[in-house]
Structure 1
Amino acid sequence: MKFSEIKREEWAELKPYLDTCLLPVTGLSGKEDPVEAADRLEQLRDLMDNIEGPFRGRIVTVPAVQYVMGSDESFVSGLNLLCSHLKSTGYTYVIVVSLLDRPSLEHPQGPDLWISPRIEGNEIRSQEISGMIQRLWSNNKS
């Protein structure tokens, strides 16, 4: 479910069920020509389709982080802060979906899961994505 599909008057009722947000990180640098940027956005969209459909009703897709600027440390720091803010609004889990490789993100309020098209050089499949998300939810039940 996209954040823009949630009506103001429905949020309080839906909030307990929508405990996970999907944060797209496109990872553009601004050096891409329009064709390259469009290709990256399409790749990210395809990856997100594997998550949004099967988990509709539990996951909300929030606005994307399109451009990544600065050092790796500033990117990680900013991403951790953004995840912390998202969690403070009521999300229990933040899942980053990105074409970028996963940076070192050891922070308690950072993303709970990082999904990219490849894991250890191999393309990730829909079943693997579903399993990763389900393990996240089951491992963190109190």
Structure 2
Amino acid sequence: MKFSDLSPQQWAELQPYLDTAVIPYTGLSGGEMPYEATEALEKLRDVLDLIEIPFKGRIVTYPANHYGAWDSGGVAQAAAMSLKLKQCGFKFIVIVAAFSVEEGAASQVNADLIVSLKQDGAMPEGAEVNDAVRMMWLGR
């Protein structure tokens, strides 16, 4: 579900079932041509679809962070947001990126899982993402 789909009454009712927050990152610098920004947003949409569609009844997707490099500042922002969402009651935090994030970065940002493009820029496989989310929920 999208954050905007939940009224206060619905949130109170559904919160026990919606235990996973998804934080999208586009990774724009502000120096992109319009078509480059469009391409990045399309990549983010495609990666988000790998989680939002199959797991609709258990996740809440927050607004995307469009601008900011995945450097020390971006990592610090992601870590702070992940921590705050856990304090709000989410058990799991998934970061979805329209760019490649190095393996093992989840622990740097207080996230349980990062789903991103592969090192070569290719999309992750749907089955691979599905397995990673399920393994996260199982605590493995």
Fold equivalence (TM over 0.5): yes
Provide the aligned C-alpha RMSD in A. Answer: 1.9
- Larger mean CA deviation between 111-120 and 82-91 belongs to 111-120
Which SS does the other structure have where 1:99 is aligned? Answer: strand
Cα pair distance change 1:22/1:105, threshold 3 Å: closer
Q: Measure, in 2, the Cα distance between the counterparts of 1:41 and 1:74.
A: 21
Which residues of structure 2 form unaligned runs of 5+?
none
Report how far residue 74 of structure 1 moved: 2.0
Which SS does the other structure have where 2:23 is aligned? Answer: strand
Q: Measure, in 1, the Cα distance between the counterparts of 2:121 and 2:52.
A: 24
Q: Is residue 76–residue 105 contact of structure 1 (8 Å, CA) maintained in 2?
A: no
Alignment-derived partner of residue 13 in structure 2 = 13
Count of residue correspondences? 138
Alignment-derived partner of residue 129 in structure 1 = 129
Alignment-derived partner of residue 31 in structure 2 = 31
Which SS does the other structure have where 2:107 is aligned? Answer: coil
Which SS does the other structure have where 1:116 is aligned? Answer: strand
Alignment-derived partner of residue 107 in structure 2 = 106
Is 1:95 the counterpart of 2:94 in the alignment? Answer: yes
Which residues of structure 1 form unaligned runs of 5+?
none
Q: Is residue 96–residue 111 contact of structure 1 (8 Å, CA) maintained in 2?
A: yes
Alignment-derived partner of residue 79 in structure 1 = 78
Q: Measure, in 1, the Cα distance between the counterparts of 2:63 and 2:101.
A: 19
Cα pair distance change 1:122/1:45, threshold 3 Å: closer
Q: What percent identity do the matched residue pairs reach? A: 38
Q: Is residue 92–residue 111 contact of structure 2 (8 Å, CA) maintained in 1?
A: yes
Report how far residue 95 of structure 1 moved: 0.3
Letter in 2 for 1:53: I
- Larger mean CA deviation between 109-118 and 91-100 belongs to 109-118
Alignment-derived partner of residue 64 in structure 2 = 64
Q: Is residue 3–residue 60 contact of structure 1 (8 Å, CA) maintained in 2?
A: yes
Cα pair distance change 1:122/1:31, threshold 3 Å: closer
